[in-house]
Structure 1
């Protein structure tokens, strides 16, 4: 890839990079991990307070706020020549302000294919095409071997408590559920809907998955949902494996296959 070069991101926004970026700010945890795994640790200057992987390396970087509240003065001080964000995880007004001053590349992820395309483009942006290609091939191979449960199991996937919020349609979690053969009980609702106990009971899923993030569901919450849906299998799952769309996807197929096998045995 020669520079200067024009790139079009996943929301159709064009940026021109005059040279290979040397000071990168990441606005999204799963993409932060990807950047480190592409070998860009020395070029990452800023990340969010939610960027927890890789654990030791992120400790050494400047925190420039969260995913929904940017500390613009900190970002200005970092003088980034590339900022990488995501349409869903970041907020439109903040991104638009940053776009006025910096080169901002945005991802927009709903499927595994979107995630792999993002990795390829980030590889091009940062001059790490070979590592990105290797990563993409590993992830594609892993998901190609994933054996979904058949027939499909009606499933509710919860991300929040008080109020209950579930995964609806048009998001990466819904896509991962489909890959597992789990039929989303709230696929008729958009994005991440609030769900009342009555709605859950009416949906009558055979399987209820409680995500470890963003709400930290734990074993102590199982009885709460079991009471609402006595017929369902209720299980706490690693939310990162269902919703992180960066290099963590390399580890997701083995984890998802394990969940599929456990659930197949429990439901049958």
Structure 2
């Protein structure tokens, strides 16, 4: 019997090391796989797309905001993994009736590494978690050297269209933007505010417009519409996973960012 706190400060009691895990968070499903927990992972969401084969061998229990509680209950899990941003908090009472439910809360790289180490400890994968954390730290330090002499550029990072929504402060996306020396013109707003694109020039007139690949499928017409309200912006269809998936995806993100900067340099 062990009592631990999750990342939002809730106490959770585990009778033993979890052996039947349901993950309601795509980035954390990938993380569990990379911590050698594929066999323990029994339930995932329809948005858990990495690694690809999991959807054909694990039970899909719905989305991240709406799940099938009966399906989860039938799996008889002993641990459910959620995230404050991905999952609705009002799901918690029903989930807790089924199994101990762990809520992560990740807005910074340090919190992402903390989650990796916490899950490694909870799920008997300390060695794997330590190795992953060290690899991320190495990649991060290498990227910081790469980015040191790059110029700061004003940017806006869009996640939704009509209503237009962007990433503001207190988000993992903003942390990654800052790491890249991208000055978020909406960093004075919290979380994911709605904005009026006809005011974007007044808000900061970004040099780069990022249109995320998730959760909204942006098209060329969206890019042209937003850009029409700026003076000089370049539009980038960004890989949303690289900017918003904390966990093992960060190992790929730093190399993606290097290539992104090389492409941007050819435009300025």
Q: Secondary structure at the match of 1:55?
A: coil
2:65 aligned partner: 68
CA distance in 2, matches of 1:39, 1:248: 15
How many angstroms does 1:229 deviate by? 1.6
2:16 aligned partner: 19
* TM-score normalised by the chain length of structure 2: 0.94
1:6 to 2:3 alignment: yes
Does the 8 Å contact 1:225/1:234 carry over to 2? Answer: no
Does the 8 Å contact 1:180/1:257 carry over to 2? Answer: no
**Cα pair distance change 1:163/1:174, threshold 3 Å:** same
1:106 to 2:103 alignment: yes
CA distance in 1, matches of 2:115, 2:55: 21
**Structure 2 residue corresponding to 1:33, chosen from 30, 39, 59:** 30
2:124 aligned partner: 127
Q: Can you list the C-alpha shifts for 1:213-238, whole angstroms capped at 9, x where unaligned?
A: 11122455432333222411111110
In structure 1, the gaps of 5 or more residues are: none
Greater CA deviation, 76-85 or 196-205?
196-205
Does the 8 Å contact 1:11/1:106 carry over to 2? Answer: yes
In structure 2, the gaps of 5 or more residues are: none
How many angstroms does 1:19 deviate by? 1.3
2:180 aligned partner: 180
**Cα pair distance change 1:198/1:221, threshold 3 Å:** closer
Does the 8 Å contact 1:212/1:218 carry over to 2? Answer: no
When the two chains are superposed, the root-mean-square deviation of aligned CA atoms in Å is 1.4
CA distance in 1, matches of 2:98, 2:252: 36
Q: Secondary structure at the match of 1:247?
A: coil
